[in-house]
A and B are shown apart, each in its own frame.
Chain A
Amino acid sequence: MSIGDALDRWPVFRQLREGDPLGLGRAARSERSRVLKPRNDEADHVVQSVCPYCAVGCGQLVYVKGGEVTHIEGDPASPISRGRLCPKGQASKSYVQSPLREYKVKYRRPHATAWEELELDEAMEMIAQRVVDTRAANWQAETEKGDPANRTLAIGNLGGATLDNEENYLIKKLCFALGIVQVENQARI
């Protein structure tokens, strides 16, 4: 070990050299701390988003690297939240990447005791057919009194308060055109 190295390892010398006589700042920083960088710095891009939980609508910044979300934090530009997020909002990266997230369609036949796999396209085809068949078999052109009804009361759709406006718009538009009137969401709970 050269004298220079030995001096460098001597904390008092480092503190004086770094202008940090109390040893509370740069002089005490380890090599590992020195090279650490916030993961935000390495993001490919940052997307302005909105927290998906309650209706305050806090701004979020979503950092992405290699097609994966690497960090979600509060957006300081938001006049609503001023960069703040609650525990749920702060944990939303863990929500997006929950260990319990499902990535494949699951199908349960009538009376079956277990899930089975199903291709997404096939599932969509089957669901579309169920809607068409159930609707046709349970169409109510008129009420018992003979007033026009133009509906089916055999199909319902539930959900919307966690969805986007655009999604709700398509749900209502499609169900209306199909005569599905039982369209509801969390507004009542």
Chain B
Amino acid sequence: MGSNMAENHPVGFQWVMEARERGARIFHVDPRFTRTSAMCTDWIRIRAGSDIAFLGGVVNYILGHERWFDEYVKHYTNAPVIIDEEFQDTEDLDGFFSGWDPEKGKYDVSTWQYAGMEAHGAAGQREEGFEPTKGEGSGHGGHSGGLEHGEPPEEDPTLQHPRCVFQLLKKHFARYTPELVAETCGCSVEQFVDYCEAICEASGRERTGAFCYAVGWTQHTVGVQYIRTATIIQQLLGNIGRPGGGILALRGHASIQGSTDIPTLYNILPGYLPMPHTETYGDFESYMEANTSPTGFWGNFKSYWVSLMKAYFGEHATPRNDWLFKHLPRIDDDNSAYWTALQMLDGTVKGYIIAGENPAVGNTNSRLHRLALAKLDWLVVRDVVEIESASFWYDSPEIESGELVTGDIATEVFFLPAAAHTEKDGSFTNTQRLLQFHWQATEPKGDCRSDLWFYFHLGRLIKQKLADSEEERDTLIKALRWDYPTHSAIQEPDAESVLQEVSGREVETGVFLDGYTSLKDDGSTLCGCWIYSGCFKDGINQTARKKPLWEQDYVAAEWAWAWPDNRRLLYNRASADPDGKPWSERKKYVWWDAEKGEWTGLDTPDFEKDKEPGYVPPDDAEAQDAIAGDHPFIMQADGRAWLFVPHGLEDGPLPTHYEPQESPFENSLYSQRANPRRQQFERPENPYAAPGSEVYPYVATTYRLTEHHTAGGMTRTVPYLSELQPAMFCEVSPELAKETGLEHGGWATIYSARTAIEARVLVTDRIPPLEVQGRRVHQIGLPYHWGTRGLTTGDAANDLDHIALDPNVHIQESKAFSVGIVPGRRPRGPALPRFVEELRKRAG
């Protein structure tokens, strides 16, 4: 669901086909019949933006038909835990959970806690004090809520207590009946029930089932909760931590996993350590206290933190100066990419460096991003080709329409050509957490340089300029460890030396660390990213291991390196029963070897090796020692998977079906139509269509093609690929074509409240209309690869979309929004904005 895997991850899809050949049923649930649907055993069409209704229906089916995996649920999830008596569900409050503050537009989460607990938590306090309307969630991989002891205060192992998580879950999803699912999603009751039966049958001791998803799930104003709903299903069915199970994120860029682990993200530091906050953490002690979980592996937070500061600042970071804490930059707002673009429009962001990204095509409401770039003082663009984000000042729809005039744009633009992957050493982290090193094949030509080169030399030059500064603000840059060795004529920094720092060493001896359990909180170790610790174990680049597949078992543990500790399957303790025995012979993976007194199996156990299954923590136990031997989820404060999330989410402890920001329909469940906590940015450059608008009656969804990659910089510039997919198009059904006069192969103008674009028309049965709430609704599919540059050019689909974000992770809703469509090419020049304005007036 939420993915077109055959199209966008074709080589990964070979494993799905292997499963099908062995008899697995593979369902594709999607608004469009795609290359994936064609290869699956079943296709269920649903309306874009309705997945929580669908998945919530599955939860209800499992609970209503007693299909859950009882032992797994009782031991490994928080199903038995009793929740605060003040908690109220959306079923009680018509679409809101308890704690909603309409003035602030955010939730007070204190009533979502486990009963008998203070509202506090590991890393949890970092959210307190954040401006409510700007929104800041728990950060990627957010920490668990803290418990004073490993066990929640009140539990009912029989799952009967009315306030236990299990009963709350039942109540919350009780109305997600097959009939409601059919009415909301547009599928049939029979298809839906068949699906539920199939996934229940594929689960249990002998079998496992998996969900694969991509940005079709994340790009919504309730994106995080889409995935949460799948986690509830997989917990109930016992499909986490077991081979063949899981919820697999199919990520779209070579190192998008790596760029969140070692984040180029504003709110976290390497290894998901939260950025310091202006108000919440006045000093080092309170920062530590707020982020160190009393129980679970986040209990070692200080070791991770201090080792990072030693990697960053070396001898300048000492216990006496609190590891330089008072000098560190702090955040207190949503500083995400969309926010930054809005700040550019307002003139407060002056300088911008773009490296391998193309917001002028790839970000939603691309038009807004181009207008924003034109407000900058200076811009640096690093890419292999001159992308639209570099040429906006002379080649863009706004220049064409006269909204921007080249001579009026004051932005100073530097375009620096980048090296390709074959021209540099480095590692990518793939979608399954594998760090794979790639070696340089040829020297980059001309001025082409790696980004390693650019940032290293930029830092070197800045350090030189500020070396004699007495300003307090320059303390950190002066203290920065920036002494990487370089090689070759261009002085390329040594990528392996950077990876060595990431992996970690003893400060005194330089000895390489084995892994994160070797990290110390006294400054004697340095480590650039605790979850990557050990990737250079024994001085060997573990990420460069390339033992061929035919020399290994299916786990292939000696191909590259997985974080953490080369574990290929996270939480794999759950592949054994509470006593440590495999759930079944067929599904054995990691188990307790009583004779040797250790966990063993096909993979590195994701559990302390010698912790017995029967281990009961003493009362004064801390960190991982406070997690019992039958609780596999060691990063959680209570060692269990969370069906109900007491802490860490902005928009509710349980997923709820809400309509998208722009939708033709009311919410079938509540009078509250959309996620009340979503982030909206109402401003002239980002207008929203009113719900149910007749001017924009169709549901649009954007997607990718096999032959192109995201904003097109790496594919519209390649002759073969441009020939294979030569033009921007829109997919419409024969019914919609007839209704609006569109001709196959002809032109269409698609318009939203933002702007209008044109595309070739592809009339196809692949995107049929649906019956929703007794009404027929048409959907339009739009690939988003095109822009004004390259060997093949076309209008950018993202120009149509708005900026409205998920409150937890600030991801935009590009998978469901409202448009209209008419035959013919769009107006040119100044006629385009007039056309858009006219429609907006009609829409009121």
Chains A and B form a bound pair: yes
| B11 touching A84, Cβ below 8 Å | yes
The contact string, 1 if C-beta is below 8 Å from chain A, for chain B 327-344, is 111111001111110011
Interface size class of A (residues with CB under 8 A): 35 or more
Q: In the complex, A175→B721 CA distance in Å?
A: 36
* A-facing residues in B704-719 (Cβ within 8 Å): 706-710, 714-715, 717-719
Given A132-B465, A183-B264, A186-B710 in contact, is the A164-B427 Cβ separation under 8 Å?
Answer: yes
Given A54-B709, A87-B721 in contact, is the A77-B447 Cβ separation under 8 Å?
Answer: no
Interface size, chain B (Cβ < 8 Å):
174
Contacting B466 at CB < 8 Å: which of A113, A132, A163, A188?
A: A132
Given A69-B422, A91-B721, A157-B355 in contact, is the A128-B336 Cβ separation under 8 Å?
Answer: no
* A-facing residues in B438-475 (Cβ within 8 Å): 438-443, 445-452, 454-459, 461-462, 465-466, 471-473
| B312 touching A147, Cβ below 8 Å | no
Stretch at the interface among A9-17, A23-31, A32-40, A134-142: A134-142
Determine if A21 is an interface residue (Cβ-Cβ < 8 Å): no
| A166 touching B452, Cβ below 8 Å | yes
Q: In the complex, A85→B721 CA distance in Å?
A: 14
| A54 touching B378, Cβ below 8 Å | no
Determine if A7 is an interface residue (Cβ-Cβ < 8 Å): no
| B459 touching A103, Cβ below 8 Å | no
| B412 touching A108, Cβ below 8 Å | yes
| B336 touching A165, Cβ below 8 Å | no
The contact string, 1 if C-beta is below 8 Å from chain B, for chain A 168-183, is 1111111011111111
Of the listed residues B313, B443, B556, B709, the one surrounded by the most CB atoms of chain A closer than 10 A to its CB is B709
Q: Contacts of A52 on B, CB cut-off 8 Å?
A: 254, 420-421, 428, 714
Given A57-B431, A150-B330, A167-B455 in contact, is the A87-B720 Cβ separation under 8 Å?
Answer: yes
Q: In the complex, A23→B343 CA distance in Å?
A: 73
Q: Contacts of B734 on A, CB cut-off 8 Å?
A: none
Determine if B408 is an interface residue (Cβ-Cβ < 8 Å): yes
Contacting B476 at CB < 8 Å: which of A98, A139, A179?
A: A179
Q: Contacts of B256 on A, CB cut-off 8 Å?
A: 55, 161, 185-187
Interface of A is mostly: mixed
Given A79-B559, A95-B717, A174-B458 in contact, is the A153-B329 Cβ separation under 8 Å?
Answer: no
Q: In the complex, A124→B491 CA distance in Å?
A: 14
Contacting A123 at CB < 8 Å: which of B362, B416, B456?
A: B416
Determine if B14 is an interface residue (Cβ-Cβ < 8 Å): yes
Determine if B44 is an interface residue (Cβ-Cβ < 8 Å): no
Determine if A4 is an interface residue (Cβ-Cβ < 8 Å): no
Contacting A150 at CB < 8 Å: which of B261, B328, B528, B548?
A: B328
Q: In the complex, A131→B140 CA distance in Å?
A: 28
- Chain B nearest Cβ from A99, distance in angstroms: 7
- Chain A nearest Cβ from B533, distance in angstroms: 13
Q: In the complex, A69→B279 CA distance in Å?
A: 53
Q: Contacts of B457 on A, CB cut-off 8 Å?
A: 124
Determine if B724 is an interface residue (Cβ-Cβ < 8 Å): yes
- Chain B nearest Cβ from A181, distance in angstroms: 5
Given A128-B462, A183-B266, A186-B362 in contact, is the A78-B811 Cβ separation under 8 Å?
Answer: no
| B385 touching A100, Cβ below 8 Å | yes
| B251 touching A64, Cβ below 8 Å | no
| B278 touching A102, Cβ below 8 Å | no
* B-facing residues in A55-87 (Cβ within 8 Å): 55-60, 62, 64, 67-69, 72, 75-82, 84-87
- Chain B nearest Cβ from A182, distance in angstroms: 5
| A163 touching B8, Cβ below 8 Å | no
| A186 touching B259, Cβ below 8 Å | yes
Stretch at the interface among B68-76, B495-503, B832-840: B495-503
Q: In the complex, A113→B695 CA distance in Å?
A: 39
- Chain A nearest Cβ from B332, distance in angstroms: 7
Q: Contacts of B554 on A, CB cut-off 8 Å?
A: 79
Contacting B416 at CB < 8 Å: which of A85, A95, A120?
A: A120
Q: Contacts of A89 on B, CB cut-off 8 Å?
A: 11
Q: In the complex, A148→B457 CA distance in Å?
A: 29
| A181 touching B352, Cβ below 8 Å | no
* A-facing residues in B393-445 (Cβ within 8 Å): 393-394, 406-417, 420-432, 434-443, 445
Contacting B407 at CB < 8 Å: which of A113, A120, A172?
A: A113
Q: Contacts of B364 on A, CB cut-off 8 Å?
A: 189
| A111 touching B252, Cβ below 8 Å | no
Q: Contacts of B327 on A, CB cut-off 8 Å?
A: 150
| A87 touching B254, Cβ below 8 Å | no
Contacting B326 at CB < 8 Å: which of A103, A108, A129, A148?
A: A148
| A100 touching B791, Cβ below 8 Å | yes
Q: Contacts of B382 on A, CB cut-off 8 Å?
A: 159
- Chain B nearest Cβ from A175, distance in angstroms: 8
Given A88-B707, A160-B264 in contact, is the A153-B328 Cβ separation under 8 Å?
Answer: no
Given A52-B714, A105-B415 in contact, is the A111-B407 Cβ separation under 8 Å?
Answer: yes
Q: In the complex, A12→B543 CA distance in Å?
A: 57
| B252 touching A55, Cβ below 8 Å | yes
Closest residue of B by beta carbon distance from A76: B548
| A108 touching B393, Cβ below 8 Å | yes
Q: In the complex, A52→B393 CA distance in Å?
A: 29
Q: Contacts of B435 on A, CB cut-off 8 Å?
A: 165
Determine if A3 is an interface residue (Cβ-Cβ < 8 Å): no
Of the listed residues A87, A94, A114, the one surrounded by the most CB atoms of chain B closer than 10 A to its CB is A87
| A149 touching B255, Cβ below 8 Å | no
- Chain A nearest Cβ from B542, distance in angstroms: 13
Q: In the complex, A188→B442 CA distance in Å?
A: 32
Contacting B477 at CB < 8 Å: which of A58, A80, A177?
A: A177
Q: In the complex, A177→B450 CA distance in Å?
A: 21
Given A105-B414, A170-B456, A176-B269 in contact, is the A130-B10 Cβ separation under 8 Å?
Answer: no
Closest residue of B by beta carbon distance from A126: B414
Q: In the complex, A87→B362 CA distance in Å?
A: 21
Of the listed residues A103, A168, A178, the one surrounded by the most CB atoms of chain B closer than 10 A to its CB is A168
Closest residue of A by beta carbon distance from B428: A50
| B255 touching A102, Cβ below 8 Å | no
| A187 touching B260, Cβ below 8 Å | yes
Q: In the complex, A157→B351 CA distance in Å?
A: 9
Q: In the complex, A57→B562 CA distance in Å?
A: 13
Determine if B537 is an interface residue (Cβ-Cβ < 8 Å): no
Closest residue of B by beta carbon distance from A183: B264
| A127 touching B251, Cβ below 8 Å | no
Q: In the complex, A184→B417 CA distance in Å?
A: 20
- Chain B nearest Cβ from A22, distance in angstroms: 34
Given contacts A55-B251, A56-B430, A89-B11, 11 further A-B contacts (CB under 8 A): A54-B253, A79-B554, A87-B706, A96-B420, A104-B447, A110-B411, A161-B255, A161-B356, A164-B428, A164-B450, A184-B340
Can you name 30 A-B pairs with beta carbons within 8 Å?
A50-B254, A54-B250, A54-B254, A62-B441, A82-B549, A86-B11, A87-B706, A96-B423, A103-B446, A106-B414, A107-B415, A111-B409, A134-B351, A151-B330, A158-B337, A160-B264, A160-B355, A162-B356, A162-B357, A164-B450, A165-B427, A165-B429, A170-B498, A172-B263, A172-B264, A173-B528, A174-B455, A177-B313, A186-B252, A189-B215
Closest 5 CB pairs of A and B: A164-B426, A57-B430, A103-B446, A160-B264, A161-B253
Residues of A within 8 A of B (CB): 47-60, 62, 64, 67-69, 72, 75-82, 84-89, 91, 94-96, 98-111, 113-115, 118, 120, 123-132, 134-136, 138-139, 141, 143, 145, 147-151, 153-174, 176-189
